Amino acid sequence: MGQYSIGVDLGGTNLRAAAISAEGKMLGKIAAPTDVSRSHAELISSIAAAIGQLRDSLGRENLAGVGVGVPGFIDMDKGLIVGSNNIPQLEGVPVRAEIEGILQTPVILENDANAAALGESWMGAGQGVADQILITLGTGIGGGIISGGRVLHGYRGMAGEIGHITVVPNGNPCACGNTGCLEKHASATAIRSMALLMGLPVTEARDIYDLAMRGNPRARMIFQSMGEALGIALATLINVFNFPLYLLAGGPLSAWQLFAPPMLAEIEKRSFAYRHTTPRIEAAKLGNEAGLYGAAYLPFQAGS
């Protein structure tokens, strides 16, 4: 057997780990609930246990390394989580050193949204494209920028916070301190809040979508507004980066036919770079496995 690596995706509800070969073949996968009431030491040991289980089944000698995607801001030099809304007990914890200490294996940390973007560029919809951006529409909106095949980190690792681009100057307040952030106007959560605000009888994204497809004008307005917000953010990104590919992921993607026309109209109107270079805007492919692929790719990339 050739080399393999282990990727971990640590979410607020689930801890998932996968062993993936250098060719991108999934060799094994495990998942466990993330109990956020547990202490940081217990969380670290459950991460190490998941990695250890995969390593034991495949053998230590061919393990290229371990990549861990975590929700939050990471100090890349020190290997610690500076801030995390989902898993606050890991804030300030030297996660990399602690896992390395237990497993005696090198570990690379990465922000979970960045890891997902890297995963799509390695084995997903962005294969073969060196410069691309992934936007994930979920509870919030995550983003990752891949430039020259690598995650763009910025000065202190905080680049790629696409969910906090202002799309409505005096829009909905966001926990980040800003008002009118993209994630407050285009995430799955934003879609549900708009439904509530408009007095729709349903508040689940899927039901709102069905209602819109049946022609309900208020439900359609929600996806119109969400598409416009996304379009404004994408026009800005296209003007700044002039990348050839922008990928969208997450539950709301099933409503593509409802939100894409207003999104594309907005981009067309606001971005001369789009009109002149017509980059691709497409759905991502790997779903919730993107982060696992990206995390697993980190050791291979570091070694190349």
- The span from the CA of 249 to the CA of 50, in Å, is 26
Closer to Zn ion by CB, 178 or 301: give it.
Answer: 178
Query: In b/e form, how buried is each residue of 47-71, taking b as 16+ CB within 10 angstroms?
Result: bbebbbbbbeebeeeebbbbbbbbb
Residues in region 81-140 near Zn ion by CB under 5 A: none
Contact, 233 vs 281, CB < 8 A?
no
Among 46, 86, 147, 178, binds Zn ion (CB under 5 A): 178
Among 176, 198, 253, 265, binds Zn ion (CB under 5 A): 176
Work out the angle at residue 150's Cα, subtended by the Cα atoms of residues 270 and 88, and round it to the nearest 5 degrees: 90
Among 181, 186, 190, 237, binds Zn ion (CB under 5 A): 181
Closer to Zn ion by CB, 5 or 166: give it.
Answer: 166
- The span from the CA of 216 to the CA of 195, in Å, is 12
Contact, 185 vs 168, CB < 8 A?
yes
- The span from the CA of 254 to the CA of 137, in Å, is 11
- The span from the CA of 145 to the CA of 208, in Å, is 30
Is 232 a binding residue for Zn ion by CB under 5 A? The answer is no
Minimum Å gap between C-beta 3 and Zn ion is 40
Is 301 a binding residue for Zn ion by CB under 5 A? The answer is no
Residue with tokens 């050193």: 97
Closer to Zn ion by CB, 66 or 165: give it.
Answer: 165
Among 55, 164, 185, 192, binds Zn ion (CB under 5 A): 164
Minimum Å gap between C-beta 203 and Zn ion is 22
Among 80, 95, 167, 174, binds Zn ion (CB under 5 A): 174
Minimum Å gap between C-beta 285 and Zn ion is 27
* Binding site residues, Zn ion, CB under 5 A: 164, 174, 176, 178, 181
